[in-house]
Structure 1
Amino acid sequence: MRPDARRTTLATIAQAAGVSVATVSKVVNERSDVAPQTRARVLELLHQHGYIAPVFRHAEVATNPTIEVQFDGDLKTYSAEALAGIMDAATDLGASVVVSKASRTTHWARDLVAAGRRALIAVTSVYTTAHLNALDRAGLPLVVLDPLHLPHSRVNSVGATNFAGGLAATQHLLALGHRRIGYVGGPAIAVCNQARMHGFRAAMEAASAPVPAAYVRSGEFTYQAGLHGGAALLDLEEPPTAVFTGNDEIALGLIETARTRGLRIPEDLSVVGFDDTLLARMASPPLTTVRQPIREMGSVALRTALRLANGEKVESYHIELATELVTRESTAPCR
């Protein structure tokens, strides 16, 4: 979000109320020498315009600035690693972090500023134009980590090279001789899921390997989605010999479904995940996956948020860090 976005001034409120700037200032500073009717009219206009007092809006970044980090939904392994990266950077830069669950009440943006927050980092969240306008009025910079939707031009975001990761994962399976390869991903509308799926499709097309419609499944980035998506693929008359999944949790759910059907990983079915969280290393067998530099992404998000809070301009609204294929024991040559 641009830190120089236009915001409401005392003069704006004074003109709308038909009073002097000095009168509005008295109301803002809770002076008693203002008529009750005038005070009520000014307060109503301050509320309508989402006015934030200059003490919060223009203060220099404190020695120990506080950044709000909000998560949507339940915290997962991905969330923990992202938060670890944010905390590492905050420790290095002398900043404080407050973690909360996203709750966008009527005055949520103003309340964050009033509580002393200097910027907001939203992890895998969706922000509408109304949300962005509220943050603009409050003067609160926003950085979205791993956005679910295509980044708005007004939003600073940090992500990873999801298309390249999907391409590398599928090329790995193709190099092992697999041609019947499925994809079980997250929400169809999620931009990261779309990029991973497009990378998968690009690799398959380049290898002239067909992708039946039934081989591509969308759901959530959850273990349960892996259970259900895996069952749908393995129930096919001609099931895939390998599956690329949208994240590590989905991969583990799919592996469990295969196990309950007597299939061995990787002898009977090769599986590739995405993220390279702790789950990938703890899986049995250890999971081949695409490493998304989640901690580094969290660190970059924190540093970007502090720069915006200090009124600095950043070189790019959207930053993508490189992904990398990590080969372990869940993939093997097609028999």
Structure 2
Amino acid sequence: MTIPGGDKRVTLADVAKLAGVSKQTVSRVVNGSAHVTEDTRERVLHCIETLGFRPSALARQLSTGRSQTIGVVSNGGQGYLVTGVAYLGMVRQADRMGYALLIKEMVDFSAGSVRAMLDFLIERQVDGVIWAGPEIGDSHAWLDDFDLASLPMPLVAINAKARPGVDTVSFDNFEAGRLATRHLLSLGRRNIGHISGPANRWVTQQRVEGWRAALAEAGLPEAGRNLVEGDWDVTSGGPGLRRLREICPQLDAVFVGSDRMAIGVLAEAHRLGLRVPEDIAVMGVDNQPESAFLIPPLTSMTQDTPRMAEVALRLLVRRICERRGEPYPEACAIPESPVLYHDLVVRASTLCSKSPTR
């Protein structure tokens, strides 16, 4: 905004001159300080309105040490929360609580790169950090021995394994693997293979452990060898099914680590003349929108990533408020569980009118 009749931006000094007070007094009014008389406050506010003054966010940040900005770090384009519905939901939730998001990507997880990223965020005075990428290999290894208390802002990690002293918000992927396998077992399937995601992913490892645990509970620990590694992509589904049938010719069910890979499994089953689900039951994970329209419709498991994004954001804002000794915004006043669960969505790819042939 400019001074009426002028061509320059209205400054703190302009308001101070018109109100007959110091710039420090105007700053106190703008920042809501109690150390100003009511008459002075009203006079300054009147001058602010008259001149159309808009406080500088940068100046407020310098004076208060608060940017009202949250840093969101993703893993080289593989972040759970930086695209699509989850991201939009997080943006809206942040906006309702008065925060903006600063998105950054990591492609190298060496100690030096992590330190450089944290320094970058510290220099921009972000109020908190969401480490949003999936745990791939050693991408989160720095959390094992890093002193998070040394950071001037709190940090929440997404879909990472639990670590002492680290706030995490994650799906229970062990329980997801067990839930999927128990579903297939409940249908009378006994030779249940698993096409996993990449083996270096913590999510993959947890689902494999859950799958094996359910088999062991059912007295079928030997079936835990029926494992093939995929890469989440549709192209690894067909080869994965062929390899499983080589390992286990009696294969009668496949728990697939993603709906995309499951699409490849369905296509390969059709090519091989296998009936789904009569000859082989197939289920995936993610519950992609197209999964309900496959032939047959695919049984899957929903993981609510928009909810994960919002839970992580609300937890982080709680931590920010705790550090400042301030009350929580209404949106995050009630603590939430940082562990989220998948929902089973049963469709025709696992259900049939008669039991499979043994």
**Counterpart of 1:71 in structure 2: which amino acid?**
S
Q: Which runs of 4+ in 1 moved over 6 A?
A: 55-58, 313-318
Instruction: Choose which of 234, 238, 243 in structure 1 pairs with 2:254.
Output: 243
Question: Secondary structure of 1:71's partner?
Answer: strand
Aligned equivalent of 2:308: 297
Question: Secondary structure of 2:237's partner?
Answer: helix
Matched, 1:66 2:76: no
Asked if the contact 2:80/2:134 (under 8 Å) is kept, the reply is no
The residue correspondences of 1:107-126 to structure 2 (distance < 5 A) are 107-121=116-130, 122-125=132-135, 126=139
Asked if the contact 2:80/2:133 (under 8 Å) is kept, the reply is no
Q: Residues 88-110 of structure 1, C-alpha deviation per residue, up to 9 Å, x if partnerless?
A: 42243232223332246362211
Matched, 1:98 2:109: no
| Cα distance change, pair 215–221 in 1 and its aligned pair in 2 (3 A) | same
In structure 2, what is the Cα distance between the partners aligned to 1:264 and 1:175? 19
Deviation at 1:327, TM superposition (A): 0.6
Asked if the contact 2:215/2:224 (under 8 Å) is kept, the reply is no
Deviation at 1:243, TM superposition (A): 0.6
Q: Residues 137-168 of structure 1, C-alpha deviation per residue, up to 9 Å, x if partnerless?
A: 54242211111xx3321321111222222222
Aligned equivalent of 2:141: 128
Matched, 1:146 2:159: yes
The residue correspondences of 1:22-41 to structure 2 (distance < 5 A) are none
Deviation at 1:244, TM superposition (A): 0.8
Deviation at 1:260, TM superposition (A): 3.5
Q: Which has the larger radius of gyration?
A: 2
Tell me whether 198-207 or 69-78 shows the greater mean CA deviation. 69-78
Q: Residues 157-197 of structure 1, C-alpha deviation per residue, up to 9 Å, x if partnerless?
A: 11122222222211211122211110111233433323322
Which protein, 1 or 2, shows the higher relative CO under an 8 Å CA cutoff with sep ≥ 6?
Answer: 1
The residue correspondences of 1:5-20 to structure 2 (distance < 5 A) are none
**Counterpart of 1:196 in structure 2: which amino acid?**
R
Tell me whether 293-302 or 163-172 shows the greater mean CA deviation. 163-172
**Counterpart of 1:141 in structure 2: which amino acid?**
P
Instruction: Choose which of 308, 330, 333 in structure 1 pairs with 2:349.
Output: 330
In structure 2, what is the Cα distance between the partners aligned to 1:229 and 1:310? 48
In structure 2, what is the Cα distance between the partners aligned to 1:286 and 1:143? 37
Deviation at 1:320, TM superposition (A): 0.5
Instruction: Choose which of 272, 276, 283 in structure 2 pairs with 1:265.
Output: 276
In structure 2, what is the Cα distance between the partners aligned to 1:283 and 1:195? 27
In structure 1, what is the Cα distance between the partners aligned to 2:263 and 2:157? 27
Asked if the contact 2:87/2:306 (under 8 Å) is kept, the reply is yes
In structure 1, what is the Cα distance between the partners aligned to 2:177 and 2:282? 13
Deviation at 1:317, TM superposition (A): 11
Tell me whether 168-177 or 81-90 shows the greater mean CA deviation. 81-90
Tell me whether 193-202 or 177-186 shows the greater mean CA deviation. 193-202
| Cα distance change, pair 136–224 in 1 and its aligned pair in 2 (3 A) | farther
Asked if the contact 1:120/1:141 (under 8 Å) is kept, the reply is yes
Aligned residues: 277
Asked if the contact 2:252/2:281 (under 8 Å) is kept, the reply is yes
Matched, 1:188 2:199: yes
| Cα distance change, pair 135–270 in 1 and its aligned pair in 2 (3 A) | same
Question: Secondary structure of 1:196's partner?
Answer: helix
| Cα distance change, pair 233–103 in 1 and its aligned pair in 2 (3 A) | closer
**Counterpart of 1:142 in structure 2: which amino acid?**
L
| Cα distance change, pair 131–153 in 1 and its aligned pair in 2 (3 A) | closer
Deviation at 1:237, TM superposition (A): 5.9
Unpaired segments ≥5 residues, structure 2: 1-59, 326-331
Tell me how large the CA RMSD over aligned residues is: 3.4
**TM-score, scaled relative to structure 1:** 0.69
**TM-score, scaled relative to structure 2:** 0.65
Unpaired segments ≥5 residues, structure 1: 1-54
In structure 2, what is the Cα distance between the partners aligned to 1:66 and 1:332? 48
**Counterpart of 1:302 in structure 2: which amino acid?**
L
Asked if the contact 1:155/1:317 (under 8 Å) is kept, the reply is no
Asked if the contact 1:77/1:277 (under 8 Å) is kept, the reply is no
Deviation at 1:75, TM superposition (A): 4.3
